[in-house]
Amino acid sequence: MSPGIWKWADRLGDVPSERSRFTLGEGDTPLVPSRRIGPALGLTNLYFKLESSNPTGSYKDRFAVAAVSHLLDRGIANCLATSSGNTGAALAAACAVAGIPLHLAIVEPAPDDKLRQMLAYGAKLSRLRGFGLDPTASAEIFAGLRRLSQKPGWALEVSAYAVSPDGMRGVETIAHELDEQLGSRIDHVFAPAGGGGLCLAVARGFAICQGAPAVHCVQPAGNDTIAGPLREGRDHGRRADPCTTTISGLQVPNVLDANAVIAACRASGGNGHLVPDAAIYELQGRLAREEGIFSEPAGAVALAGALQAVANGEVDRDARIVCLVTGSGFKDGTSLAKMADVGDVPLVGFAEFEGSLTQGSSSSRSPR
């Protein structure tokens, strides 16, 4: 069996006993160079870390395997968790392996496709009114979940160091893999942020490596809880009141790991970057058409931040840049339908099909 994140057990601090560890086959994700988007802009060292290739389609598998292995070690009988989609799917798969019932409090705007994946693994779901949109409602829900998790045999898992540090250490393995793949040659890593746990995990993972890169926090402008304060030189995050972004997975209006993210990114030499939803959706399409990378909208956020930083002269064009592609395009059917509507596919006879090929051949472009 693949060791998964446990390949890095000696770097993960307090790990569960070997009998409690399991893997979904997570980790060892590809790092691929940009073939078109980067070179077109004079970026010869732009790379994509394809976390979308993890078993449930996102980097959250690293979190879930670490978190649930710890639950097994502690003899926890029930898992309570929150999710906008990817955490829920990853925890549902991990809990299915562990035989632990999972009860999920889902943010109100979570895409149906993500809910179906959680249900397929056997999780019990409830979508909570205002959760992920209204910071007051979200804070009240978090407080209630913490109270419920105090019952004997129950535990709360949220992909944030503020709640689940054991699970988040599994996410630090992204940095260890990047260090193995490119070593100290990485200059900048761009990561998307909702609550900020991913940025913090990458920064902390690199902290034990030589030649650590600058770690940048990129957020949709409609959920400016961390990136804006980091950019403004502040030490504390702020609530997004209300959260207006439509980017699923990054609708986290409350301050979770924000303060620690600001400190860690700043110490690494990174900065905060705010990008509009429209630019994110555009790059989601470009990643598919120009790089062959099938990403959900949140997975295109890092690239949006990196390109903005380069355009603003904040990052050198010859720097070695890694963008984290955090989740698969299958995660968000709504955005996929906007990007590629099957209603646009004509029903034709073969003669018409053949004629369209002949007509279009003169303008076809040779592959690079």
Tens of pLDDT, residue by residue over 10-68, are 999 999 999 999 999 999 999 999 999 999 999 999 999 999 999 999 999 999 999 99
Mean pLDDT across 184-208: 95
- Domain borders along the chain are 4-58+169-337, 60-167
Computed over every residue of the chain, the mean pLDDT equals 93
Checking if the pLDDT of 364 tops 60, the result is no
Checking if the pLDDT of 345 tops 50, the result is yes
* Radius of gyration, alpha carbons of the chain: 21
Alpha helices in the chain (DSSP H): 37-40, 60-74, 86-98, 112-120, 135-148, 165-171, 173-182, 197-206, 227-231, 258-268, 277-291, 301-311, 333-339, 350-360
Please tell me if the domain spanning 4-58+169-337 has the same topology as the one spanning 60-167.
yes
Q: What is the pLDDT of residues 255-288, one digit of tens each?
A: 889 999 999 999 999 999 999 999 999 999 999 9
* Residue of higher predicted confidence among 155 and 242: 155
Checking if the pLDDT of 367 tops 50, the result is no
- Among 29-43, 134-148, 307-321, which stretch is predicted with the lowest mean pLDDT? 134-148
Q: By percentage, how much of the chain surpasses pLDDT 90?
A: 79
Report the candidate in 292, 365, 221 with the shortest Cα–Cα distance to residue 37. 292
Structure tokens at 329: 């395009």
Hey, what CATH class is 60-167 in?
alpha beta
Report the candidate in 5, 14, 109 with the shortest Cα–Cα distance to residue 59. 5
Q: By percentage, how much of the chain surpasses pLDDT 70?
A: 97
Q: Confidence class of residue 84 from pLDDT cuts 50, 70 and 90?
A: confident
Q: What is the pLDDT of residues 242-252, one digit of tens each?
A: 899 999 889 88
Architecture field, domain 4-58+169-337: 3-Layer(aba) Sandwich (3.40)
